[in-house]
Amino acid sequence: MSRKRCFRFAAVASISLMLGCGVGGQSRGVDSSSSMGPDGRTPSQWLENFPAESDYAILIDVLDDAVIKASTTDVYGRPLLPSAWIDAVSDAYLGTDVDEAVLDENFYEEWRLVSIRVSPCAPLGVAPYQDIDTFCWPTVRLVWQPVVEDLRLLWGSYTDFYADDRAIHAIYPLPARQYDGERIEGDLRSTVAAYLKTGDVPEVIPADVRSRFVDQRDSTADWLIDVVQWLRAPEVGAQDYSGIQLRPELMAGGQIASDFTGRLRGFLGELAQSQYLDELTSFSLPEGRLPGSRDSWVFVGFDGNQGNPQLKSLSVISRDSGRELIDIGFSQTVAVALEDPIVEDAIEQGNDELRDSLIISGDDIARMTEEVADPYAFLVPNTSCGSCHRMNNELRFNFHSLSGFEDNGITVSRRVELDVARDIDWTLAR
């Protein structure tokens, strides 16, 4: 794409103004080290080995001090993870196996950011046949988790850091931007998503809407890609960003880690403002910190509702027709080799397409993971929450996808690996 790098200097310069300054030049919760702007290393081409896996999947250590706390603020001084969101999640679990465990076992101060997924092209549709490489939108996903320090485990030993068996995923589509970062009025992303939500083929979208949508998607994606490139530290080797692993700046420590943290705060402060929230999801183990014996995990989901999350029903959508295969309700309860009773009942009644869309047993994990994890074969709406979280090739009672499991560090699922690979390919093909 000939315009790909022509706008880089203007794009990065605009970030300095948006993230480093507020109204009247006043700083808005972002320290000086996080101010985005040209720093003498803005190239006319991609940086070496960019994008790599650690650019689009940013892992933050759960076995060390918090880097980004729930109380860390956006550019307007509002917490990135408001306590009201945690309260809403806790309320959604009442009456389930989890019940009051979220608030009983964790303080607000224990919630921290553990990973970030950056996607320049997150699919907007409900099924793979809806041309996911065209009808997609730049999106950022934050994964929050409570990490308890100096915890004495039930069997008597102590651990410095213990990632509790629950998490919150917050999803933020970017507001449309021009290549230089200036906002674009209107919301073509929502317009296109509304067409696709019905399961219709993309051809039903009017040609003029399609054309304007693609233009806005491209300019917004290019701006995001520039910002992601800006997050890199010049002191870190280009090959160190290969693979999904702890972010190399944080592993380097010292000033490199400190400077990266400042840039990351600026990035989040601009892109993860509460009014941009599109979707919130969560899962949790019941109280007790005994996943092997409790053998129960509950999933809930919310519409973003402009920063006021509203509980929504969970469902599975056919990847072939776009029709709803099942409405599970406001929560889904699973075990190591069991689906929610509502799902199990539907399968027993002959819903074969639903059964073929789910990973439940150990045999399913071995047989189906590669297909269900493939974004060109299954989108997230085409399987259950439990199925997505079983694809981590780890302990069967580890349901983490991009978050920490007890004192074992962050688990990365096969779905995350293939989604990141698709995002890299999409970027390089532009």
The answer to whether residue 3 sits within a structural domain is no
Instruction: Look at the block and give the residue holding tokens 């021009």.
Output: 178
The answer to whether residue 117 sits within a structural domain is yes
Residue 287 confidence (pLDDT): 94
The answer to whether residue 2 sits within a structural domain is no
| Statement: the pTM of the whole predicted model exceeds 0.75 | yes
Half-sphere exposure of 64 (CA within 13 A, CB side): 11
Residue 375 confidence (pLDDT): 97
pLDDT digits (tens, 9 = 90+) for 118-173: 999 999 999 999 999 999 999 999 999 999 999 987 767 889 999 999 999 999 99
Question: Which distant-in-sequence residues (6+ apart) come within 8 Å of 408 by Cβ?
Answer: none
DSSP-based three-state secondary structure for 326: strand
* Contact predicate 405/411, CB 8 Å: yes
What range does the domain containing 400 cover?
A: 8-428
Task: Give the total number of structural domains in the chain.
Answer: 1
Residue 157 confidence (pLDDT): 83
The answer to whether residue 253 sits within a structural domain is yes
The answer to whether residue 277 sits within a structural domain is yes
Residue 400 confidence (pLDDT): 86
DSSP assignment letter at 257:
H
Residue 393 confidence (pLDDT): 57
For residue 248, cis peptide bond before it (omega within 30 degrees of 0): no
**How far is residue 77 from each of residues 177, 264, 413, measured CA to CA in Å?**
23, 15, 34
- In angstroms, the CA 132 to CA 345 distance is 32
Q: What is the pLDDT along the chain (430 residues), one digit of tens a residue?
A: 333 444 343 444 445 444 443 322 333 333 333 334 333 333 347 899 999 999 999 999 999 999 999 999 999 999 999 999 999 999 999 999 999 999 999 999 999 999 999 999 999 999 999 999 999 999 999 999 999 999 987 767 889 999 999 999 999 999 999 999 999 998 999 999 999 999 999 999 999 999 999 999 999 999 999 999 999 999 999 999 999 999 999 999 999 999 999 999 999 999 999 999 999 999 999 999 988 889 999 999 999 999 999 999 999 999 999 999 999 999 999 999 899 999 999 999 999 999 999 999 989 999 999 999 999 999 999 999 999 888 875 557 788 889 988 988 999 999 999 999 999 999 999 8
Cβ burial 365-380 (10 Å sphere, 16+ → b, else e)? beebbeebbebeebbb
User: Both tokens of residue 157?
Assistant: 């030993």
- Cα R_g (the chain), whole angstroms: 21
Residue 151 confidence (pLDDT): 92
For residue 375, cis peptide bond before it (omega within 30 degrees of 0): no
Residue 292 confidence (pLDDT): 81
Question: Which distant-in-sequence residues (6+ apart) come within 8 Å of 401 by Cβ?
Answer: 388, 389, 391, 392, 411, 412, 413, 415, 416
- In angstroms, the CA 123 to CA 259 distance is 32
How many other β-carbons are positioned within 10 Å of the β-carbon of residue 56? Answer: 24
DSSP assignment letter at 232:
S
User: Both tokens of residue 147?
Assistant: 């990490």
Residue 80 confidence (pLDDT): 98
User: Both tokens of residue 318?
Assistant: 């056919």
- In angstroms, the CA 147 to CA 422 distance is 31
Q: What CA dihedral angle connects 342, 278, 387 and 107, to 10 degrees?
A: -90
**How far is residue 172 from each of residues 139, 216, 366, measured CA to CA in Å?**
6, 16, 32
DSSP assignment letter at 136:
E
CB neighbour class for 202 (10 Å; exposed up to 12, middle 13-18, buried from 19): middle
Question: Which distant-in-sequence residues (6+ apart) come within 8 Å of 332 by Cβ?
Answer: 298, 299, 300, 314, 340, 343, 384, 385, 386
The answer to whether residue 204 sits within a structural domain is yes
Residue 34 confidence (pLDDT): 37
The answer to whether residue 1 sits within a structural domain is no
Q: With the C-alpha atoms ordered 239, 244, 246, 250, is the resulting torsion angle positive or negative?
A: positive
